[in-house]
Structure 1
Amino acid sequence: MSLLNQLFNRGLLGAKCKTCLTLVISRIKLLQNKRQIQLNQMRKEISQFLQTGQDHIARIRVEHVIREMNMQAAYDILELFCEFVYARLPILESQRDCPQELQEAIASIIFAAPRCSDLPELLQIRNLFTTKYGKEFISAASELRPDTSVNRDDGSIKICNGATDSRSPIERGSLNMSVPSNGQPIIPADQNRSRNVESANEAIRNLSLVSPGKAELSVSNHNVGSVIDAKRSSSDSCDAMERARAAIASADRASAAARRAAELVNVNSGFPRIQESS
């Protein structure tokens, strides 16, 4: 019966792997306690260096503290993986291939085995997995191939893709130039707003030559138009195209008002019937 168990990699794998995992978990806990004591001592030394003004030495010690903290976090994850595999050893014995739920834990243990010299039992666990799953599985985990689930970076890729453009829709609409289907370029809203103000000021100067009543009327109309344009640009911040169209329409109105004011001034200088109609 023992020969059959050895042929099918059963019994022997479970017993040896269970022993090695138990030793690894206990050794990781001892190493973590020692590392925590060293970290506390290094923090005290850094505080003393900062108090005495030795900043350059404190910076070097901070780098060591960060490296030790990263190692401590890695050992914590490795301990969780070992406990996870230890609790599911019967599943490993009953199945010939590596289960999907254990693939990440086993591949991570295989990857960490040659890199953690403080845990020699990991090499024994790696040899057991080599006997059961083959050298191809071990080499794939050691080389960080995409199908081994080691060091997965799907979340970081999504975060990076989402953070490529951190500007708000208002900034993107005010900075970008777009060309519609009719071939006329759409000018950003900030430039349109400044041109509207210049056109309104020019219309006011022209209307002041005609009569005070007409000038006050045009000033009030342009003030109302500028308020409407400001509200429209703030309410349509999510759509740059609509905001650009509204700015173009307001620019057309301002330019039309300026042209009307210029025509009134020219007609007033040549024909007296403008005063009669007014």
Structure 2
Amino acid sequence: MGFFQGKTSKQTTRVKKLLGLALSRLTIARRPRLARRSICRSDVGQLLSLGYLHHALLRAEQVIEEDNMLQAFDIIELCCKRLVEHAAHLDKPQECGEEIREAAAGIMFAARWCGDLPELQVARTILEDKFGSDMAVIAKEGTSIVDPMLVWKLSGDKTNMELKKKVTKEIAVENSFMVDFSELQLQEAV
């Protein structure tokens, strides 16, 4: 048996391969998101130049969404790398350190949010078997052990007006525009 010989189990080897494949796919999944973010940022600049502040704020929402997903991909990448590096510890999940448990929980949580990474679905099932249903429930809810930044980036409020104003203002500064949100507040009051 692999346990006595110091080898990893078949499930652990499979998780390692799946996460390696997910790392490769992350590189591919980033490309269209980077392109969409760039296009959206350009659109916000153009809308501001034309004086369409309300439309620019709506487009800024898409910029926020792409930024959040790209940042979530970075966190998922770290989780995958951590689990691949410490795959041998997955055979004894009760002895895993907090770092490995957090990485596993992050993968379990991200699996349902990332259709771009189907390998995470299978990896989640294997990790649930290894770590148990209690941890799986906690991970799926995105509480306690899951990185709060990952939870916020994947499930956070992308329609927050203050955040949209901040992104719009950043893009306006990049394009040397002045933005006056007071006229927007007057329109909302009417």
Could you tell me which residue of structure 2 aligns to residue 137 of structure 1?
135
Could you tell me which residue of structure 2 aligns to residue 97 of structure 1?
94
Amino acid at match of 1:139: V
> What CA distance in whole angstroms lies between the structure 2 residues aligned with 1:103 and 1:127?
15
Between structure 1 and structure 2, the one with the greater Rg is 1
Could you tell me which residue of structure 2 aligns to residue 66 of structure 1?
64
Among 86, 89, 92, the residue aligned to 1:88: 86
Q: Which string of whole-angstrom CA distances, capped at 9 and with x for unpartnered residues, describes residues 191-227 of structure 1?
A: xxxxxxxxxxxxxxxxxxxxxxxxxxxxxxxxxxxxx
When the two structures are superposed, what TM-score results if normalisation uses the length of structure 1? 0.48
Could you tell me which residue of structure 1 aligns to residue 42 of structure 2?
44
Amino acid at match of 1:36: L
Could you tell me which residue of structure 2 aligns to residue 111 of structure 1?
109
Q: Which string of whole-angstrom CA distances, capped at 9 and with x for unpartnered residues, describes residues 111-142 of structure 1?
A: 11112222111111111112222222211222
> What CA distance in whole angstroms lies between the structure 1 residues aligned with 2:148 and 2:79?
13
Q: Which string of whole-angstrom CA distances, capped at 9 and with x for unpartnered residues, describes residues 53-72 of structure 1?
A: 22221111011101211111
1:228-243 superposed matches below 5 A: none
1:110 and 1:142 in contact (8 A); partners too = yes
Amino acid at match of 1:32: R
2:109 and 2:146 in contact (8 A); partners too = no
| Pairwise CA distance, 1:52 | 1.8
Among 74, 77, 82, the residue aligned to 1:76: 74
Structure 1 residues 59 and 140: CA distance shift in structure 2, 3 A: closer
The count of corresponding residues between Structure 1 and Structure 2 is 145
* Structure 1 portions without partners, runs of 5+: 153-278
Structure 1 residues 150 and 51: CA distance shift in structure 2, 3 A: closer
The 3-state SS of whatever aligns with 1:53 is coil
Could you tell me which residue of structure 2 aligns to residue 55 of structure 1?
53
1:98 and 1:133 in contact (8 A); partners too = no
| Pairwise CA distance, 1:107 | 0.9
1:190-269 superposed matches below 5 A: none
1:20 paired to 2:18: yes
> What CA distance in whole angstroms lies between the structure 1 residues aligned with 2:74 and 2:85?
17
Could you tell me which residue of structure 2 aligns to residue 30 of structure 1?
28
> What CA distance in whole angstroms lies between the structure 2 residues aligned with 1:114 and 1:80?
18
Structure 1 residues 144 and 63: CA distance shift in structure 2, 3 A: closer
Structure 1 residues 144 and 48: CA distance shift in structure 2, 3 A: closer
* Identity across matched positions, percent: 32
Amino acid at match of 1:64: Q
- Highest RCO, 1 vs 2 (Cα 8 Å, sep ≥ 6): 2
Could you tell me which residue of structure 2 aligns to residue 178 of structure 1?
none
1:159-170 superposed matches below 5 A: none
1:109 and 1:126 in contact (8 A); partners too = yes
| Pairwise CA distance, 1:98 | 5.1
When the two structures are superposed, what TM-score results if normalisation uses the length of structure 2? 0.68
1:123 paired to 2:126: no
Could you tell me which residue of structure 2 aligns to residue 151 of structure 1?
148
> What CA distance in whole angstroms lies between the structure 2 residues aligned with 1:46 and 1:149?
33
* Structure 2 portions without partners, runs of 5+: 150-190
1:50 and 1:58 in contact (8 A); partners too = yes
